[in-house]
């Protein structure tokens, strides 16, 4: 057992002298702190079409698995082409008869109700989100659910002010929009998609990811409680075949997709030659850039948040760390010390920092890419931590000695894996940061405001964070460049993607 006097020496930049570091080892252990709120799960979930829960025409269901312990959570309806047709018919009817004709101030009332009801059931939804997706309960509780409600609140405020979205122009809704959302932020991405569409007067057919459908279907219960007119929002669940039917349906005037770049390209090819409007929020390989005048302790916290938040299942994760050469050793040493105390384990424990990987398939993908990093000569560091016997987990991983030719520096891993590269000059940092097919986000850490402003103009990324990372707000647009997609979600810019200018 370690003692309070056990020390490890690291060099301090500020004093030039070695800095003492306390190593507590196993002196203290965390008591279990499980979340006990009832998620109110059903044994079986049907499709939400025309304001009602209905069985799929085929009678087929699939199982949703808890990634933390591999147990069955619920059976989920598998929507076929007939079900998607019914969903679009209900949406078109609602748009033609009710929602498309309703004044904005009346639409706002429904969207406000959705936000308030979501707040009322916040703990229930947080637990359901964690059980279905594997993320730590403190992230579902403190970020996902509150931010989802915030998006509904924000867009409800816009619903009666649409004359100001595009000054000098009149805006009209597209009509019916098709949406497909990913598995990493199921409820939040649902809010990102649905809220602006409803505020603009559109009706929706939305398909959640097959591994994380539960909170989307639970939202259907809230839509019923809010009195939302039948057919305004329709939720169809299933696999890729269901998503393809939603994206290519002739009724959809616009489609929105969040997911991998590969699937995004397939969708775009399938819609080529049609008049459908599209927005795509795709993959990323963000650079988190640390200059030698950065507040290093603060930056280390930003690095940890940037790559280990939600187990790295984040499109804008700061998976490439670019550190100025003169401080690289110090940053790496402090980073290793920091991740040694990250707790990996039961997502339902409030002490947990990294929960379960979303699926067995994603765990295998992470493992293959990490193995490629070792094979190609990068130096891997993983803290010692005992992983649960059941479930899908991966240790926080840091690779140093990485070059731009490594697969781990080029490909999106979508897991808790960080690649560390170095640079000497600002120009070199910009060149390395932009040397990627992606362009979703970036982070800059420096004490100089002028440098931050310059970097924000040079970096080819839709979002550039300054001395922080992973900060989101409904009022701020989010989206990418290059193979990270096009269009924006959030803010006035996000609303413009859900309307036509006339």
Q: Which two tokens stand for residue 244?
A: 């393809």
Beta strands in 223-285 (DSSP E): 233-235, 254-258, 277-281
DSSP letter string, 37-90 = ------SEE-EEETTEEE--TT--EEEEEETTTTEEEEEEE---HHHHHHHHHH
What separation, in Å, do the N-terminal and C-terminal C-alpha atoms of the chain show?
72
Q: Which residue has the tokens 């649905």?
A: 194
Which residues, other chains included, contact 305 with Cβ-Cβ below 8 Å and sequence gap of 6+? 469, 470
Cα(217)–Cα(209) distance, integer angstroms: 11
Residue pair 415/357 in contact by the 8 Å Cβ criterion: yes
Among the listed residues 101, 93, 413, 56, the one whose alpha carbon sits nearest the alpha carbon of residue 207: 56
Positions annotated as catalytic residues are 281, 315
Cα(385)–Cα(341) distance, integer angstroms: 9
Sheet with strand 44-45: strands edge to edge:
44-45, 71-77, 61-66
Q: How many residues are there in the chain?
A: 502
With vertex at residue 269, the alpha carbon angle to CA 277 and CA 190, rounded to the nearest 5 degrees, is: 50
Q: Which two tokens stand for residue 266?
A: 């397939």
Q: What is the CA radius of gyration of the chain?
A: 23
Q: Please state, in angstroms and as integers, the Cα–Cα distance from residue 301 to each residue in 304, 307, 390, 461, 468, following that order.
A: 5, 10, 29, 22, 9
Query: Which phi and psi (to 5°) does residue 209 adopt?
Result: -70, 150
Query: Which phi and psi (to 5°) does residue 22 adopt?
Result: -75, 135
Cα(49)–Cα(91) distance, integer angstroms: 9
Residue pair 446/294 in contact by the 8 Å Cβ criterion: yes
């Amino acid at each position: 057992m370690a003692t309070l006097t056990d020390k490890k020496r690291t060099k301090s930049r500020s004093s030039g002298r070695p800095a003492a570091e306390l190593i507590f080892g196993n002196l203290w252990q965390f008591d279990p702190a499980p979340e006990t709120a009832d998620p109110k799960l059903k044994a079986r979930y049907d499709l939400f079409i025309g304001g009602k829960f209905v069985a799929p025409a085929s009678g087929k269901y699939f199982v949703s698995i808890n990634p933390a312990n591999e147990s069955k959570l619920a059976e989920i309806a598998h929507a076929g082409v007939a079900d998607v047709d019914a969903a679009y018919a209900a949406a078109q009817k609602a748009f033609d008869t009710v929602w498309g004709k309703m004044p904005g101030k009346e639409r706002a009332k429904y969207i406000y109700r959705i936000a308030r009801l979501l707040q009322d059931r916040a703990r229930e939804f947080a637990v359901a989100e964690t059980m279905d997706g594997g993320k730590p309960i403190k992230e579902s509780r403190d970020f996902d659910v509150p931010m989802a409600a915030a998006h509904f609140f924000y867009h409800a405020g816009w619903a009666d002010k649409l004359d100001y979205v595009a000054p000098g122009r009149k805006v009209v809704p597209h009509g019916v929009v098709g949406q497909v959302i990913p598995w990493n932020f199921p409820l939040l991405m649902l809010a990102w998609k649905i809220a602006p569409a409803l505020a603009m007067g559109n009706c929706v057919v939305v398909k959640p990811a097959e591994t994380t459908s539960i909170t989307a279907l639970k939202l259907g219960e809230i839509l019923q409680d809010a009195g939302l007119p039948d057919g305004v929002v329709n939720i169809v669940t299933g696999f890729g075949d269901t998503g393809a039917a939603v994206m290519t349906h002739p009724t959809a005037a616009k489609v929105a997709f969040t997911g991998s770049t590969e699937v995004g390209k397939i969708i775009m090819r399938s819609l080529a030659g049609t008049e459908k409007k599209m927005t795509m929020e795709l993959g990323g390989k963000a650079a988190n850039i640390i200059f030698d005048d950065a507040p290093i302790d603060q930056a280390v916290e930003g690095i940890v948040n940037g790559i280990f938040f939600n187990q790295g299942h984040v499109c804008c994760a700061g998976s490439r760390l670019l550190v100025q050469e003169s401080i690289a050793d110090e940053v790496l040493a402090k980073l290793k010390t920091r991740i040694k105390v990250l707790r990996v384990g039961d997502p339902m424990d409030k002490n947990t920092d990294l929960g379960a990987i979303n699926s067995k398939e994603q765990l295998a993908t992470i493992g293959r890419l990490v193995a490629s990093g070792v094979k190609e000569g990068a130096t891997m560091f993983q803290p010692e931590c005992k992983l649960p016997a059941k479930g899908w987990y991966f240790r926080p991983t840091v690779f140093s000695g990485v070059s731009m030719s490594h697969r781990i520096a080029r490909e999106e891993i979508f897991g808790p894996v960080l690649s560390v590269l170095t640079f000497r000059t600002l120009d070199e940092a910009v060149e390395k940061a932009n040397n990627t097919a992606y362009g979703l986000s970036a982070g800059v850490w420096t004490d100089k405001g002028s440098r931050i402003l310059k970097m924000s103009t040079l970096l080819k990324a839709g979002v550039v964070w300054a001395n922080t990372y992973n900060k989101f707000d409904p009022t701020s647009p989010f989206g990418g460049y290059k193979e990270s997609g096009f269009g924006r979600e959030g803010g006035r810019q996000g609303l413009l993607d859900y309307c036509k200018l006339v």
